[in-house]
Amino acid sequence: MSKLIKAISIDPTKRTIEEVEIEANHLSALYKHIGCRTIDFVCRMPNGDALIVDDEALLTDPQPPAFKFAYFLHCIHGIALVVGSNSNGRTIEPKLTLQQVRNLTKFLGEIRTEPFMNVVSWE
């Protein structure tokens, strides 16, 4: 039996931010919740939390509605999950609270964002 953890779901279509339960460390559960076939972990925060997003959202036409998250420079399109991570890289419950995520999120609605790639050197 898989372990369920709490995550925080941000849905810019419904304009909701709520706690949800997901299966920890199961890609299929993440794909199902977000409604995608590939994911990306973006917006790594100092406390170890991150956003899981649809890696192909910017390639769809029309793009899903967007939101802005205070720790991230770019607009995020589609449903995202806020999760935490442990020292082994496993997905765990986020340290941010539901209210903190609500305070950090601004819904933008129907906007267009050009796809981009950001490569960071580890040197």
The structural domains of the chain, with segments of one domain joined by +, span: 4-109
Give the separation between CA 78 and CA 91, rounded to whole angstroms.
20
Report CA 41 to chain centroid distance, whole Å: 7
pLDDT of residue 1: 53
How does pLDDT run across 108-121, given as a tens digit for each residue? 989 898 876 767 67
pLDDT of residue 16: 97
How does pLDDT run across 27-77, given as a tens digit for each residue? 888 889 899 999 988 888 889 899 999 999 999 999 999 999 998 888 999
Helix, strand, coil distribution of the chain in percent, nearest 5: 15, 35, 50
Give the separation between CA 24 and CA 4, rounded to whole angstroms.
6
- Percent of the chain at pLDDT exceeding 90: 59
Question: What single-letter amino acid sits at 102?
Answer: R
CB 81 within 8 A of CB 41: no
Predicted model pTM:
0.88
8's enclosing H/E stretch is: strand 4-11
Per-residue pLDDT for 92 more than 70?
yes
Cis check: omega of the bond before 94, within 30 degrees of 0? no
